[in-house]
Amino acid sequence: MASTPPGQRRQDILQALAEMLEQPKGDKITTAALARKLGFSEAALYRHFASKAQMFEGLIEFIESSVFGLINQIAERHDDGLTQARDIVGMLLHFASQNPGMTRVLIGEALVNEDERLQLRMNQFYDRVELALKQALRVAATEGHGREAEVAPRAAMLASFVIGRWHRYAKSGFSNNPTQDAALQIALLLG
């Protein structure tokens, strides 16, 4: 019998949790339901994660590493600040469309009634996204695309646009693609 590679079981648990989150009208996710989906006991879950909150932290870590790794690639690839801002917003919308279960984490819906520190961590995530947008817009301002005084409000507006699209996507039961018609609206927001 082949043994499971180290860390694979943790990944399997997180993958199953993300899949369960893709059910828009699904019941509250319990460790018992998660264990049933995986075909092993709740005790086996707790050998890999100390709590359900720690499982959600694993999903948040995946989101953070994926999103901020892509933001860094965008910043390295493009010198133009407006292009950076546009591509960051587009990537955030695309990420949600490719990861519907993660969208419920991004908007905090999956974190309701969970450990408060999870929502605080997502708030820090939003702050970092807005900071990345501010940086891109500062680059754009130095290139003559707007004034420095416009950077913070425009970054906040772009971040709000993304979060609004994520909410709409989740509320539609993941049927209303967040990237649909987004390019035109992003262009209008960037002026």
Domains identified in the chain, total number: 1
pLDDT at 4: 66
**Structural domain contains residue 145:** yes
d(CA 29, CA 70): 29
Q: Would residue 148 count as lying in a domain? A: yes
- Decide if 41 is inside a domain: no
Instruction: Report if residue 177 sits inside a domain.
Output: yes
In a domain, 133, yes or no: yes
Global confidence as pTM: 0.89
The predicted-structure confidence for 27-43, as pLDDT tens digits, reads as follows 678 999 999 999 989 99
Average pLDDT along the chain: 90
Domain assignment of residue 72, yes or no: yes
Mean pLDDT of 93-116: 92
Q: What is the pLDDT of residue 1?
A: 43
Domain for residue 101, yes or no? Answer: yes
CATH number of domain containing 138: 1.10.357.10
Higher-pLDDT residue of 143, 63: 63
Cα distances (Å, whole numbers) of residue 155 to 50, 96, 128, 131, 133: 37, 19, 11, 8, 5
Residues of the domain holding 150: 52-190
Q: What is the pLDDT of residues 73-86, one digit of tens each?
A: 999 999 999 999 99
Please calculate the CA angle 183-187-189 and round it to the nearest 5 degrees: 115
| Mean pLDDT of the 13-31 span | 86
pLDDT tens for residues 160-188? 999 999 999 988 888 888 888 888 788 87
Residue 40 lies in a domain: no
